[in-house]
Structure 1
């Protein structure tokens, strides 16, 4: 069966790109086919196909690209057709376009195959397109579909060339991923799953047993049905992201270096504490907790704060800082901590921030990402701040969203008086600070006493 590639332009279209330079020579067209194809590979496939109308020299160069990218929304926009779910006739033209490109394309292996569909196409079409990418020995496969077919081609889970696999449900609905009985992905290094439902724990185990060389894993809003436990063993894993997942996942990644964990009281079922016990590997931990009224912080948030003894860079986002008063003082200091990022601070957390500064001997950088105090602490209740003095090796302090409130200035004064080796104090003003306020704050900052004679204060 022959397929025709449709390159018909809409009624209103921009002027064709002029390829000639100032001397009147078409230097781009004189380049070798391989080099032009390499340049076209950085464009979406539809844009690469548009170049076929430039001249006979360019007519089939798009078939030599190493990247294939199909996006039906872009296709509709190019043809100036409204995004109408009922436009069955135009859906068929997109199907014909994809089939035509796959039939004409002559390069194997390909580096990347991306399929983003906002409309419903027949499952048989999706299966053929994805299978064609696997047959072309694709290295990076991106699937953002709405909806997904009942099951993905089994060849995806037995590809010897796949290095990166990204599966995202491109709709509010989640996609139930069916894992075959045998999974063999010996080259897979990066796996990203978003809004995916696993039917049972065994399917999760089968998937990760077949990914023995996995280096980077992202589980974003994934769910595990029933009450099963899913045990993910990833000995080679270096980067792990687990964000708002539901279901009891236990991740055993003893060599993980960078961990990003985000949850709310309803999505705190991923146990990553076993990944925090290796003293030599843990580099960065980012912990985000979205609070809800009437809910206690999940136990896993406390376990991560208590267990990250060997982390070098610790990032506490959202409301994670507010959990510190629930942690005992002897569970906070980390022997290898070099930098600390704190999100929302309040009065109750400052005692622990001070303890952190005093007891983390290698700590050199601290960043207050949302100011020194939250809004309620500054403008509603204003108790006196009484903090113990500290001695540390802190060299850089950065305060973002700085509003110049008098309580903030008291805390800045406290930091300057105690940080004896401080070199830079960076104050990033909030966008609403007016010029007159900035001048007033600057004058007050210049009068503050400093324990370090080498400290430079920057207000920007």
Structure 2
């Protein structure tokens, strides 16, 4: 029995990487399956801070014509773009699967068009500080499933936005990661549009560097999206939002610089389309105080979250807000819930079964809020609670006080976690 043939592709590729070109050629005669596996190099990496470009070019030239590169990682800061792009074109001919390009674009660097027509690349990561002015008309990345864009700028050419053209060239894209794309600097389409996209991550790490006064709108046309991580400034409006398949969302949003949420008529921000677009979500994490404030200020626009089964909120600086949910609820902090909680009657009919509290300190205000909540939630089965500042006798005392509180649900139990 041929045991080697039963090994996973990754292991056969790893074994083949130790063979000489002559040995690899003989080996491929034994199995048709090996012909595409035994010539794959695991990783080709270049970093001009630790290696000379000549050494990298020598390694590249040693590749056989039939060799394939599983992963190519290039990091350079000071090299001439023509030399780099020449080598990059050669590697793209080797059927690269995972392409990671980390480039200092201060010199006006432009990617070669061959990057956008590579038929084999499955994972593509591009960054940082360079611009993509134009995508070729024949752009097509038929195998690309994961795309990461870090600190890049996109421009419009011939009436077409390069960002939208790039997404349109990725027919099987499943995951999109956008970091510091600085939408506010765009004067063209700010639309994430993809029928195949399943996971979308938008992260802003620099909050105060730019003037956001021109940040007018964003659209999400992603009907197949199931996961959204969205951390950014809120534009003036969301023109189109299609998130009908969304299952999980983590939202960290802020109003633009020098503004606050305002429920009076004429508020400069109009996030209603986004709020309505979240109506089918099952797991919702409202991570920041400002996000909670947005949900509260625009509470009249909130949909009924009929599918919501898990809600996680950070209440470190804010009180309870009237959002209807079912299933489980997670609090990051509990100590600032105020007496206004008693104004909301939705707890009486809430089918909440699990309540998780990440930080409970046991002061009198917290104890009163716990007594009120436990007295209302008739379906509650489990309260999972963490005492971050208590150990030993103090921890036991806090737990004893909670256990003594009356509960609307006879099934309710406490679980103190470390």
2:327 to 364, 367, 380: 364
Counterpart of 1:443 in structure 2 is: 400
Counterpart of 1:67 in structure 2 is: 43
Counterpart of 2:114 in structure 1 is: 155
Query: Cα distance, 1:366 vs. partner?
Result: 0.9
TM-score of the superposition, structure 1-length normalised?
0.70
Write 1 or 2 for the structure with the bigger share of helix. 1
Counterpart of 1:324 in structure 2 is: 295
CA offsets per residue over residues 251-303 of structure 1, 9 Å max, x none? Answer: 322222222222125xx378485223x3xx22112211246785124736443
2: CA distance, partners of 1:40 / 1:438: 58
Secondary structure of residue in 2 paired with 1:162? coil
Secondary structure of residue in 2 paired with 1:340? strand
Secondary structure of residue in 2 paired with 1:132? helix
> Does 2:174 correspond to 1:215?
yes
Question: Could you tell me whether the CA contact under 8 Å between 1:64 and 1:105 is conserved in 2?
Answer: no
> Does 2:223 correspond to 1:254?
yes
Question: Could you tell me whether the CA contact under 8 Å between 2:223 and 2:242 is conserved in 1?
Answer: yes
CA offsets per residue over residues 337-389 of structure 1, 9 Å max, x none? Answer: 11111123555x41414xx2xxx3xx211111x2124xxx47xxx65752434
- Unmatched tracts of structure 2, length 5 or more: 1-9, 19-37, 207-211, 262-267
CA offsets per residue over residues 134-161 of structure 1, 9 Å max, x none? Answer: 1111111111222476211111011111
1: CA distance, partners of 2:237 / 2:86: 35
> Does 2:69 correspond to 1:110?
yes
TM-score of the superposition, structure 2-length normalised?
0.76
CA offsets per residue over residues 367-417 of structure 1, 9 Å max, x none? Answer: 11x2124xxx47xxx657524342222221111122223222222222222
Question: Could you tell me whether the CA contact under 8 Å between 2:251 and 2:286 is conserved in 1?
Answer: yes
Question: Could you tell me whether the CA contact under 8 Å between 1:341 and 1:366 is conserved in 2?
Answer: yes
Larger mean CA deviation between 236-245 and 317-326 belongs to 236-245
CA RMSD of aligned residues (A): 3.2
1: CA distance, partners of 2:11 / 2:169: 37
Counterpart of 2:141 in structure 1 is: 185
2:278 to 282, 295, 308: 308
2: CA distance, partners of 1:160 / 1:270: 37
- Unmatched tracts of structure 1, length 5 or more: 1-33, 42-47, 49-61, 77-92
Question: Could you tell me whether the CA contact under 8 Å between 1:320 and 1:343 is conserved in 2?
Answer: no
Secondary structure of residue in 2 paired with 1:188? coil
2: CA distance, partners of 1:272 / 1:67: 43
Change (3 A) 1:283 1:103: same
1:368-407 → structure 2 map (5 Å cutoff) = 368=331, 370-373=332-335, 377=336, 385-387=341-343, 388=345, 389-407=347-365
Counterpart of 1:275 in structure 2 is: 242
Question: Could you tell me whether the CA contact under 8 Å between 2:198 and 2:224 is conserved in 1?
Answer: yes
Counterpart of 1:100 in structure 2 is: 58
2: CA distance, partners of 1:338 / 1:295: 33
Counterpart of 1:284 in structure 2 is: 248
